């Protein structure tokens, strides 16, 4: 098949469109991740609650894939430690 001028233009347009879409997605994602001010003061508690819930789930037999390699008792103790340590640091400050 013979190549024409339009084949090259079509390829360049596809590449430019892909670059444009990637730049839009990454700029929106970056601005969203930088503006998580709504969760200020609660992010640590959310992580600790997720750890405690995963540990309790493992104790009753629910298998959570992202927490699969951790022991339930260790997750429970670490989650509670994070929660109470954060609470103590917040009260002391």
Residue 10: its pLDDT value, please?
77
Confidence of residue 42 (pLDDT cuts 50, 70, 90): confident
pLDDT, residue 81, reads 92
pLDDT digits (tens, 9 = 90+) for 44-93: 888 899 999 999 998 998 887 877 777 888 989 999 999 888 777 777 66
Distance of CA 41 to the CA centre of its chain: 17
**pTM higher than the cut 0.75:** no
CB-count exposure of residue 63 (10 Å: 0-12, 13-18, 19+): exposed
Q: What is the rounded average pLDDT of the residues 14-20? A: 86
Query: What is the structure's pLDDT at 33?
Result: 66
């Amino acid at each position: 098949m013979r190549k024409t001028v339009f084949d090259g233009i079509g390829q360049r347009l596809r590449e430019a469109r892909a670059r444009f879409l990637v730049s839009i997605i990454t700029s929106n994602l970056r601005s969203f991740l930088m503006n998580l001010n709504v969760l200020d003061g609660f992010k640590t508690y959310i992580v600790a609650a997720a750890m405690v819930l995963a540990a309790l789930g493992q104790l009753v037999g629910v298998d959570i894939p992202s927490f699969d390699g951790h022991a339930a008792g260790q997750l429970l103790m670490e989650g509670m430690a994070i929660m109470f340590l954060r609470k103590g640091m917040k009260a002391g400050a």
